[in-house]
Amino acid sequence: TAGITQAPTSQILAAGRSMTLRCTQDMRHNAMYWYRQDLGLGLRLIHYSNTAGTTGKGEVPDGYSVSRANTDDFPLTLASAVPSQTSVYFCASSDSGSTSGGLSTDTQYFGPGTRLTVL
Amino acid sequence: QKEVEQDPGPLSVPEGAIVSLNCTYSNSAFQYFMWYRQYSRKGPELLMYTYSSGNKEDGRFTAQVDKSSKYISLFIRDSQPSDSATYLCAMSKGGYQKVTFGTGTKLQVIP
Protein backbone atom coordinates (compact mmCIF):
# COMPACT_ATOMS: atom_id res chain seq x y z
CA THR A 1 0.00 0.00 0.00
CA ALA A 2 1.43 3.36 -1.02
CA GLY A 3 -0.32 5.37 1.72
CA ILE A 4 0.14 9.03 0.89
CA THR A 5 2.06 10.29 -2.11
CA GLN A 6 3.12 13.87 -2.70
CA ALA A 7 4.46 15.54 -5.83
CA PRO A 8 6.80 17.08 -6.62
CA THR A 9 9.50 15.96 -4.20
CA SER A 10 11.14 19.35 -4.44
CA GLN A 11 10.71 22.53 -6.42
CA ILE A 12 12.39 25.88 -6.90
CA LEU A 13 9.86 28.55 -7.78
CA ALA A 14 10.24 32.19 -8.78
CA ALA A 15 8.39 34.68 -6.60
CA GLY A 16 5.05 35.65 -8.08
CA ARG A 17 4.54 32.34 -9.86
CA SER A 18 1.75 29.94 -8.99
CA MET A 19 2.14 26.32 -8.10
CA THR A 20 0.04 23.35 -7.05
CA LEU A 21 1.37 20.73 -4.66
CA ARG A 22 -0.30 17.40 -5.19
CA CYS A 23 -1.37 14.92 -2.53
CA THR A 24 -3.05 11.57 -3.05
CA GLN A 25 -3.97 8.91 -0.51
CA ASP A 26 -5.12 5.36 -1.14
CA MET A 27 -6.36 4.55 2.38
CA ARG A 28 -9.87 5.95 1.83
CA HIS A 29 -9.42 8.26 4.82
CA ASN A 30 -12.09 10.88 5.35
CA ALA A 31 -9.89 13.67 6.65
CA MET A 32 -6.85 15.27 5.00
CA TYR A 33 -4.49 18.03 6.08
CA TRP A 34 -1.74 20.29 4.78
CA TYR A 35 1.08 21.37 7.10
CA ARG A 36 4.24 23.37 6.62
CA GLN A 37 7.32 22.58 8.68
CA ASP A 38 9.87 25.27 9.43
CA LEU A 39 12.95 25.12 11.65
CA GLY A 40 12.10 26.22 15.16
CA LEU A 41 8.38 26.50 14.41
CA GLY A 42 7.46 22.86 13.97
CA LEU A 43 4.42 21.70 12.03
CA ARG A 44 1.77 24.32 11.38
CA LEU A 45 -1.62 23.52 9.90
CA ILE A 46 -2.45 25.37 6.69
CA HIS A 47 -5.80 23.89 5.62
CA TYR A 48 -7.79 20.78 6.34
CA SER A 49 -10.70 18.80 4.94
CA ASN A 50 -12.93 16.52 6.99
CA THR A 51 -14.61 14.97 3.99
CA ALA A 52 -14.82 15.36 0.23
CA GLY A 53 -16.44 18.65 -0.72
CA THR A 54 -15.53 20.48 2.51
CA THR A 55 -12.44 22.41 3.55
CA GLY A 56 -11.40 24.58 6.49
CA LYS A 57 -8.64 27.02 7.43
CA GLY A 58 -5.82 26.12 9.78
CA GLU A 59 -3.52 28.47 11.65
CA VAL A 60 -1.53 29.77 8.63
CA PRO A 61 -3.93 29.76 5.63
CA ASP A 62 -3.00 33.08 4.00
CA GLY A 63 -1.57 32.71 0.50
CA TYR A 64 -2.78 29.13 0.14
CA SER A 65 -5.94 27.52 -1.19
CA VAL A 66 -7.17 23.92 -1.28
CA SER A 67 -9.90 21.86 -2.85
CA ARG A 68 -11.29 18.40 -2.10
CA ALA A 69 -13.17 17.17 -5.14
CA ASN A 70 -12.91 13.52 -4.10
CA THR A 71 -11.76 11.37 -1.18
CA ASP A 72 -8.28 10.62 -2.48
CA ASP A 73 -6.89 13.97 -3.66
CA PHE A 74 -6.17 17.17 -1.73
CA PRO A 75 -4.11 19.65 -3.78
CA LEU A 76 -2.59 22.78 -2.25
CA THR A 77 -2.24 25.86 -4.46
CA LEU A 78 0.00 28.87 -4.02
CA ALA A 79 -1.54 31.56 -6.23
CA SER A 80 1.41 33.97 -6.15
CA ALA A 81 4.39 32.58 -4.28
CA VAL A 82 6.47 34.69 -1.89
CA PRO A 83 9.86 33.86 -0.32
CA SER A 84 8.25 33.37 3.12
CA GLN A 85 6.49 30.33 1.67
CA THR A 86 9.83 28.54 1.39
CA SER A 87 9.27 25.48 3.54
CA VAL A 88 8.73 21.75 3.62
CA TYR A 89 5.10 20.89 3.01
CA PHE A 90 3.49 17.73 4.38
CA CYS A 91 0.15 16.28 3.49
CA ALA A 92 -1.53 13.99 6.03
CA SER A 93 -4.72 11.99 6.36
CA SER A 94 -6.71 10.36 9.14
CA ASP A 95 -9.44 7.77 9.32
CA SER A 96 -12.30 9.85 10.65
CA GLY A 97 -13.71 13.32 10.52
CA SER A 98 -16.79 15.24 11.37
CA THR A 99 -19.28 16.20 8.71
CA SER A 100 -20.57 18.94 11.00
CA GLY A 101 -17.30 20.82 11.19
CA GLY A 102 -14.19 20.70 13.38
CA LEU A 103 -11.08 18.62 13.03
CA SER A 104 -10.47 14.92 13.50
CA THR A 105 -8.16 13.90 16.31
CA ASP A 106 -7.50 10.39 15.03
CA THR A 107 -4.03 9.19 14.09
CA GLN A 108 -2.60 11.18 11.21
CA TYR A 109 -0.52 9.53 8.50
CA PHE A 110 1.95 11.77 6.72
CA GLY A 111 3.30 11.85 3.18
CA PRO A 112 7.03 12.18 2.37
CA GLY A 113 6.88 15.95 1.93
CA THR A 114 7.58 18.54 -0.76
CA ARG A 115 10.56 20.87 -0.34
CA LEU A 116 9.67 24.24 -1.84
CA THR A 117 12.09 27.11 -2.32
CA VAL A 118 10.70 30.45 -3.46
CA LEU A 119 13.30 32.86 -4.80
CA GLN B 1 4.24 31.29 25.23
CA LYS B 2 3.77 28.26 22.99
CA GLU B 3 1.08 25.78 23.94
CA VAL B 4 3.59 22.93 23.65
CA GLU B 5 7.27 23.25 24.53
CA GLN B 6 9.91 20.76 23.46
CA ASP B 7 13.69 21.00 23.78
CA PRO B 8 15.10 20.96 20.23
CA GLY B 9 18.31 19.19 21.23
CA PRO B 10 20.32 17.78 19.62
CA LEU B 11 20.61 14.94 22.10
CA SER B 12 23.53 12.55 21.57
CA VAL B 13 23.69 9.24 23.44
CA PRO B 14 25.77 6.07 23.11
CA GLU B 15 24.17 2.94 21.73
CA GLY B 16 22.36 0.99 24.44
CA ALA B 17 21.55 4.04 26.57
CA ILE B 18 18.12 4.86 27.92
CA VAL B 19 16.77 7.99 26.26
CA SER B 20 14.25 10.35 27.83
CA LEU B 21 12.41 12.83 25.61
CA ASN B 22 10.00 15.31 27.11
CA CYS B 23 7.36 17.92 26.37
CA THR B 24 5.52 20.36 28.57
CA TYR B 25 2.23 21.99 27.73
CA SER B 26 0.10 24.79 29.05
CA ASN B 27 -3.44 23.81 28.05
CA SER B 28 -5.07 21.54 30.63
CA ALA B 29 -7.77 20.63 28.10
CA PHE B 30 -5.41 18.37 26.14
CA GLN B 31 -6.57 14.76 26.45
CA TYR B 32 -4.83 12.86 23.64
CA PHE B 33 -1.05 12.61 23.50
CA MET B 34 1.10 11.31 20.68
CA TRP B 35 4.74 10.83 19.76
CA TYR B 36 5.88 10.90 16.15
CA ARG B 37 9.28 9.92 14.79
CA GLN B 38 10.67 11.76 11.77
CA TYR B 39 13.74 10.56 9.91
CA SER B 40 15.75 13.09 7.91
CA ARG B 41 13.92 14.19 4.75
CA LYS B 42 10.92 11.98 5.55
CA GLY B 43 7.41 12.58 6.85
CA PRO B 44 6.53 12.05 10.54
CA GLU B 45 5.28 8.58 11.48
CA LEU B 46 3.21 7.78 14.56
CA LEU B 47 5.14 6.00 17.29
CA MET B 48 2.88 6.10 20.36
CA TYR B 49 -0.67 7.25 21.14
CA THR B 50 -2.10 7.62 24.65
CA TYR B 51 -5.27 9.00 26.16
CA SER B 52 -5.25 10.94 29.44
CA SER B 53 -2.70 10.11 32.16
CA GLY B 54 -0.67 6.97 32.65
CA ASN B 55 1.91 4.82 30.90
CA LYS B 56 1.89 2.91 27.66
CA GLU B 57 4.58 0.49 26.57
CA ASP B 58 5.38 -0.83 23.11
CA GLY B 59 8.58 -2.82 22.80
CA ARG B 60 11.52 -0.58 23.68
CA PHE B 61 9.30 2.51 23.84
CA THR B 62 7.31 3.78 26.83
CA ALA B 63 5.11 6.86 26.78
CA GLN B 64 4.18 8.58 30.04
CA VAL B 65 1.62 11.29 30.62
CA ASP B 66 1.39 13.33 33.82
CA LYS B 67 -1.57 15.63 33.38
CA SER B 68 -1.19 17.15 36.87
CA SER B 69 2.24 18.46 35.86
CA LYS B 70 1.31 19.00 32.19
CA TYR B 71 4.31 16.89 31.23
CA ILE B 72 4.73 13.99 28.83
CA SER B 73 7.71 11.75 28.24
CA LEU B 74 8.93 9.16 25.78
CA PHE B 75 11.51 6.65 27.01
CA ILE B 76 13.58 4.55 24.62
CA ARG B 77 15.37 1.56 26.15
CA ASP B 78 18.45 -0.05 24.63
CA SER B 79 18.72 2.76 22.08
CA GLN B 80 19.95 1.83 18.61
CA PRO B 81 21.58 3.89 15.85
CA SER B 82 18.37 3.34 13.87
CA ASP B 83 16.55 5.39 16.55
CA SER B 84 18.44 8.48 15.36
CA ALA B 85 15.69 10.82 14.23
CA THR B 86 13.66 13.83 15.31
CA TYR B 87 10.89 13.03 17.80
CA LEU B 88 7.78 15.20 17.80
CA CYS B 89 5.26 15.28 20.60
CA ALA B 90 1.68 16.11 19.67
CA MET B 91 -1.54 16.58 21.59
CA SER B 92 -5.19 17.46 21.14
CA LYS B 93 -8.27 18.26 23.19
CA GLY B 94 -10.45 15.62 21.60
CA GLY B 95 -13.91 16.37 20.29
CA TYR B 96 -12.60 17.05 16.82
CA GLN B 97 -10.09 19.73 17.88
CA LYS B 98 -6.83 20.30 16.01
CA VAL B 99 -3.58 18.53 16.84
CA THR B 100 -0.82 20.76 18.25
CA PHE B 101 2.75 19.62 17.59
CA GLY B 102 5.94 20.32 19.49
CA THR B 103 8.91 21.55 17.47
CA GLY B 104 10.74 18.23 17.83
CA THR B 105 13.88 16.93 19.56
CA LYS B 106 16.70 15.67 17.38
CA LEU B 107 18.22 12.45 18.74
CA GLN B 108 21.51 10.90 17.65
CA VAL B 109 22.50 7.44 18.89
CA ILE B 110 26.23 6.89 18.51
CA PRO B 111 27.36 3.32 17.71
Highest mean pLDDT among A65-69, A101-105, B28-32: A65-69
Q: Give the β-pairing of A114-118 and A10-13.
A: parallel
Residue A99: pLDDT band with limits 50, 70, 90:
very low
B42: closest chain A residue by CA:
A112
**Does A41 contact B103 at a Cβ distance shorter than 8 Å?**
yes
Choose the closest CB to A102 out of B49, B96, B104: B96
Least confident of A12-16, A95-99, B4-8, B100-104: A95-99
Whether residue A1 has pLDDT greater than 80:
no
B103 contacts on A by Cβ (under 8 Å): 40-42
| Chain B residues near any Cβ of chain A (below 8 Å) | 6, 8, 32, 34, 36, 41-46, 49, 88, 92-99, 101-104
Cβ density class B89-101: b for 16+ within 10 Å, e for less: bbbbbeebbbbbb
pLDDT of residue B95: 60
Query: For the residues A66-70, what does the mean pLDDT come to?
Result: 97
pLDDT of residue A101: 44
B31: closest chain A residue by CA:
A105
SS3 B107: strand
pLDDT of residue A41: 86
Distance between B7 CA and the closest CA of chain A, angstroms: 10
Choose the closest CB to A107 out of B49, B88, B95: B49
pLDDT of residue B8: 83
Choose the closest CB to A113 out of B43, B92, B96: B43
Side by side, which strands form the sheet with B61-66? B4-6, B19-25, B71-76, B61-66, B54-58
pLDDT of residue B28: 92
pLDDT digits (tens, 9 = 90+) for B75-103: 999 999 999 999 999 998 876 668 899 99
Whether residue A79 has pLDDT greater than 80:
yes
CB B59 within 8 A of CB B75: no
pLDDT digits (tens, 9 = 90+) for B21-59: 999 999 999 988 999 999 999 999 999 988 888 899 999
pLDDT digits (tens, 9 = 90+) for A7-57: 999 999 999 999 999 999 999 988 899 999 998 888 999 999 989 999 999
A21 contacts on B by Cβ (under 8 Å): none
pLDDT of residue B67: 92
What is the spatial distance between Cα B32 and Cα B49, in angstroms, rounded to a whole number? 7
Neighbours of A9 (CB within 10 A): 10
Higher per-residue pLDDT: A42 or B1: A42
